[in-house]
Amino acid sequence: MINIEMMRLLFIISLIVLPFFSLHSEQLTKEQAVSYREEGYRLQSMGDLNGALTYYEKAAQMYPNYAEAYNDIGVVYEALGDNDKALSMYLKTLEINPEYLPAYTNLAFLYERRGEIENATTYWKKRYMAGQQGDYWWEVSRQHLLKLGTYPEVRKADLEEKAARLSRELIYVREQDRLKVIEEAKLHLDLGNNAFAAKDYETAAKEFRTVLSLNVDDDDLVATARKLYDQAERFRLRQSAYVNTKNALDYIEKDDFLSAGDKLKNALSAVFHITQEKDF
């Protein structure tokens, strides 16, 4: 029994401790990979391309998701004249991290030097569209697209994409505004229903009238609010007629005929509105 409990305890401890060691180990691995890359960069800056390649490859082997290291390997291979391997490394970089912009630039340069205009345009376009007007590499991309004779098409595509994106954003904003109005309308509808259930017909009619004033883009909701408003307004007027009539009788008993007359006028006005079907 003691052994089983001990095993359970060790299992629980392992569940807590092992993830910590795993994360710590991964961090150490990444730090070592960064160190290898820095050494590679030092050797490359001194002109030792083969030495730099060795350290860049160590960095990539130690940390397989190290996009920057693969890009560095591509740069060295290209400097050594092995364009095919360089191309493979640049593409590997983007496979790991599609947001790593230097790889797009390197691919564009490489394809352009090889005379592959279509491929060069593809990556210059990606780099161009990933930047903003005034940025250094945005301007470099634009100049190369002009040189390749493909800038007008890219510019047109860029403008069309921006227009489409703006349109989508406007549609999204309008839809969010529409949903907000609908939620507000539903809130007033619920408040109106609660007031109606409590026989507070004046508040109920006010809430349903608010729903109608919001111009909700929901035909079913508007129809429901209209129906409930008509019901609440009819009950409100009937209640007003009853209360004013009762008050008039109370004033008559007190010989206050002037006040009784006012209350009767109010009661008759409510009855008159009830009989006017066009009001509902």
Task: Map out the domains of the chain as residue ranges.
Answer: 19-166, 177-279
Q: Which residue's structure tokens are 């299992």?
A: 11
CA distance 154 to 127: 11
Structure tokens at 127: 């780099």
201 touches 236 (CB < 8 A): yes
pLDDT of residue 25: 56
Listed in sequence order, the DSSP H helices in the chain are 2-45, 49-62, 67-79, 83-96, 101-113, 117-130, 136-148, 151-197, 201-213, 219-253, 257-275
Structure tokens at 186: 């539903």
pLDDT of residue 82: 96
Structure tokens at 242: 């009853």
Tell the CATH superfamily of the 19-166 domain. Tetratricopeptide repeat domain (1.25.40.10)
pLDDT of residue 49: 95
51 touches 59 (CB < 8 A): no
pLDDT of residue 244: 77
pLDDT of residue 160: 67
Q: Is 129 exposed, middle or buried (0-12, 13-18, 19+ CB in 10 A)?
A: middle
271 touches 241 (CB < 8 A): yes
Pick from 67, 65, 58: nearest CA to 36: 58
- What does the angle CA 245 – CA 251 – CA 252 come to, to the nearest 5 degrees? 90
Structural Rg of the chain based on CA atoms: 38
CA distance 70 to 3: 50
**pTM above threshold 0.85:** no
Pick from 267, 274, 272: nearest CA to 247: 267
Q: Which residue's structure tokens are 């490394």?
A: 89
In order along its 280 residues, the chain shows pLDDT tens digits of 456 666 666 556 555 544 544 444 567 788 999 999 999 999 999 999 999 999 999 999 999 999 999 999 999 999 999 999 999 999 999 999 999 999 999 999 999 999 999 999 999 999 988 888 888 998 899 888 888 877 667 666 666 666 777 777 777 788 788 888 888 888 888 888 898 888 888 888 888 889 888 888 888 888 988 888 888 888 888 877 777 787 878 878 887 777 877 777 776 776 766 777 544 4
